[in-house]
Amino acid sequence: MKYGIVAFPSKELQDRANTYRKRYDAHYALIPPHMTVLGPFTLEGKEMKEAAAELLEVAAKQKPFELKVMRASTFAPITNAIYLKIEPNDEILGLREALSLDFIKNIEDHQYVPHITIAQKMSDGEHDDIIGQVKMDNFEHTETIDRVHLLYQLEDGPWTVYETFTLSGDE
């Protein structure tokens, strides 16, 4: 089974992202707009309940973080995905590192770029047609994220929240 840890932004930012996702994101119906903190991954040597308890303990020690959207960008030519670029900060990177426990085995091995995907799995032509329009849109937005969510993927594709972790900064 696949798992992930994500931060869901405010409804306001989700609504903005969904104006593009409805039309250009093949995963629109599978998961709401989100910033992946960790994943997708599998659990090695732990049951879900036990893993969630350990992740909860780690997450409780982490502080809320600022999610600052700077602009729209693209992963092209690697992949035709368009995303809202989130400014990396010590809290986001520290949270990711703290949650990378030894029983979590990442499925994808690529450099971490905090972002919210708004378009993916498009043809080259489709990507080239909309990237200019998307880049002209002003997506600047800042908010505080005080919780992250452990998700699991159902067999037919959608992702479901298993548990929510509050980032309280308790030592």
Containing structural domain, residue 121: 3-38+63-89+109-146
23: left (phi over 0), alpha (psi -120 to 50) or beta: alpha
The answer to whether the CB of 91 falls within 8 A of the CB of 135 is no
Q: Please give the positions annotated as active site.
A: 34, 115
Q: Give pLDDT tens digits for 21-61.
A: 999 999 999 999 999 999 899 988 888 899 999 999 999 99
The CATH number of residue 7's host domain is 3.90.1140.10
3-state percent helix, strand, coil for the chain, nearest multiple of 5:
30, 35, 35
pLDDT digits (tens, 9 = 90+) for 128-171: 999 999 999 999 999 999 999 999 999 999 999 999 999 988 76
Structurally, the chain folds into a number of domains equal to 1
Q: Is residue 49 part of a domain?
A: no
pLDDT tens digits for range 87-140: 999 999 999 999 988 888 888 778 899 999 999 999 999 999 999 999 999 999
With respect to residue 102, please indicate whether it lies within any of the assigned structural domains: no
Does residue 165 sit within a domain?
no
Position 79 in a domain: yes
Mean pLDDT across the stretch 70-80? 94
Which run of H or of E encompasses 15?
helix 11-24
Judge whether 119 and 79 are in contact, CB under 8 Å.
no
pTM: 0.94
Per the domain annotation, does 53 fall within a domain?
A: no
